[in-house]
Structure 1
Amino acid sequence: MGTGVLFSAVTALGLVRLPDVYTRTHAASKSSTLGVLSILLGTFVHFWFNEGIFNTQMVIAIAFLFITQPVAGHLIGRAAYMTGIKVAEETVRDDMGSAIEKRRNNQQEELENE
């Protein structure tokens, strides 16, 4: 559980200190996932070994968070990029820009060919 608290603290620090929505989303999706999963896993282990209670709802919650939180972070970042929110000045490379431009060019060519 201490590991979960540490990851959650890193998440809070990242949300306050990082420069743009993309790096903040990365911090929120990756480290908070590990933080919450560590806390849930610690709770699950405590109740299973100390109290003798196997909680299937806790296992489902762990699986659900493990799958959905990174996907949500990715979708938030993608939505921010598609709406035109600029990246931080420190950003070295924009990998998605060339892919989006290529896709737009292909769509324009298809419309012209019809």
Structure 2
Amino acid sequence: MPLYLEIIVCVSLLIGGAFLLVGSYGLVRLPDIYMRLHSPTKASTLGITGVLLASMVFQSHLKGFLSIQELLITLFLLITAPVAANMIAKTALHQRTKPLDKTENQALMETVRDREAPKPPQD
């Protein structure tokens, strides 16, 4: 394997590992569910992207052609992680999970929770 590819793989793994470490630490240390959602969805998604990018470069070199599986996994994660975080946040909101007292705009939580679904248009 050429030196420049080894450097790309190593840097990508280090950056991905750093993001994963920060995401894991944030998940453990942040105080409430609304703050905890930010850490795994942002940092961990970037971390997995770095690891899969390194795998894609390595596998492409071994096979001799572009490895597309890692790219598809990365795309799937980039699409589904924010949607999953949004669903978890909505569940916490409707279960009336209390945020920290220092959280700003808590009145907006009540407004969003109590709003009604849009009505279908009348013909």
TM (normalized to structure 2)? 0.75
Matched residues in 1 for 2:66 and 2:104: separation?
48
Instruction: Tell me the matched-pair count.
Output: 105
**Higher relative contact order by CA 8 Å / sep ≥ 6: 1 or 2?**
1
What are structure 2's unaligned runs of at least 5 residues? 1-12
Matched residues in 1 for 2:65 and 2:36: separation?
37
Matched residues in 1 for 2:21 and 2:100: separation?
23
Q: Percent identity?
A: 34
CA RMSD of aligned residues (A): 2.0
Once the 2 structures are TM-superposed, how far is the Cα of residue 99 of structure 1 from its aligned partner? 2.9
The answer as to 2:112 corresponding to 1:99 is yes
TM (normalized to structure 1)? 0.81
Matched residues in 2 for 1:5 and 1:93: separation?
34
Matched residues in 1 for 2:105 and 2:85: separation?
20
What are structure 1's unaligned runs of at least 5 residues? none
Q: Runs in 1 of length 4+ with deviation above 4 angstroms?
A: none
Deviations along 1:2-56, one digit per CA (max 9) or x if unpaired, are 11100000011101110101111111111111111111011112222x3224222
Say whether the 8 Å CA contact 2:56–2:68 is kept in structure 1.
no
Matched residues in 2 for 1:78 and 1:42: separation?
34
The answer as to 2:43 corresponding to 1:9 is no
The structure with more helix, counted as a fraction of residues: 1
Letter of the aligned partner of 2:110 in structure 1? G
